[in-house]
Amino acid sequence: MALFVPLLLVIALLTGCSTVPENQPVPVIARPHPQVVNYALSLQGAPYRYGKDNPRDGFDCSGFVRHVYQKNGINLPHNAKDMALTLPEIPLHAITPGDLVFFDINGKTYSHVGIYIKNNNFIHAPSQRTGKVMVSNLNTPYWQKHFVGARRP
């Protein structure tokens, strides 16, 4: 019995001092899969067509992005502004392949969208003038001037 009381005191002290930390939710930001970028690159050269969203008829910028993500099981709105307003913003220094890059074209915020590849390159369906899906660089003066942010699907 003499040993039993001190043993109980030690157990009481140890269990009294030990606390289980509260589980704090850690935000997990899903990273796009490499197949998103690979599929987007496979469509390079597809024709630009306003309002279209498939390889047969062609793509506008948001139709291109929507199609690529839809093929990978992610549904996005059809217009760039709605994509920007519904997806979480990420800082430029944290951008990864598959993230979306948005631009202000003709004074309209979130009026153009592309898919980031890597090394400051992105793929997009820029315009009727260029006529096709192509890769561009964020560091060119034009795209730097019009860049308004990045989002992660």
- Catalytic residue, candidates 67, 93, 124, 146: 124
Locate tokens 């050269």: which residue?
45
**146 given a catalytic annotation:** no
DSSP structure string for 127-141 = -TTT-B-EEEETTSH
- Catalytic residue, candidates 17, 33, 112, 146: 112
**93 given a catalytic annotation:** no
**112 given a catalytic annotation:** yes
- Catalytic residue, candidates 17, 61, 78, 146: 61
Q: Which residues are catalytic?
A: 61, 112, 124
